[in-house]
Amino acid sequence: MLINQADNQFESENWDKALVSYESAKAIFDRDYPNNQITKINTKLTETKRSTRKRCSE
């Protein structure tokens, strides 16, 4: 199932693949869960980018 796949990718911190899977699930299932997970992933991606930029500027 798509949500299970997305959850496994999320747990593995495979943010890009999880994002795609949750986006696909969102298109099929009208539920809050995929949207909530997408928000969490976007937050993680933003944090990762900030951390990378900070390390590069040091």
Summarize pLDDT for 30-43 with one digit per residue, the tens: 899 999 999 999 99
Cα separation values, 29 from 1, 23, 55, Å:
12, 10, 39
- Please report the pLDDT score of residue 53 as a whole number: 79
Query: If you count them, how many residues does the chain have?
Result: 58
User: DSSP code of 16?
Assistant: H
Number of domains, the chain:
1
Which range marks the domain in which residue 6 is found?
Answer: 2-57
pLDDT at 52 over 90: no
